Amino acid sequence: MVEREIRIQGMSCEHCVMAVRRELSRLEGVTVKEVRIGSAVVSYDERTVTPTRLNSAVEEAGYTVLR
Q: Which residues contact 15 (CB under 8 A, 6 or more apart)?
A: none
The confidence band for 65, taking pLDDT boundaries of 50, 70 and 90, is very high
pLDDT at position 67 over 90: no
Nearest to 62 by CA among 31, 16, 5: 16
Fold for 2-65, please state it: Alpha-Beta Plaits (3.30.70)
For residue 48, the model assigns a pLDDT of 95
Alpha helix positions (H), 3-67 = 14-25, 51-60
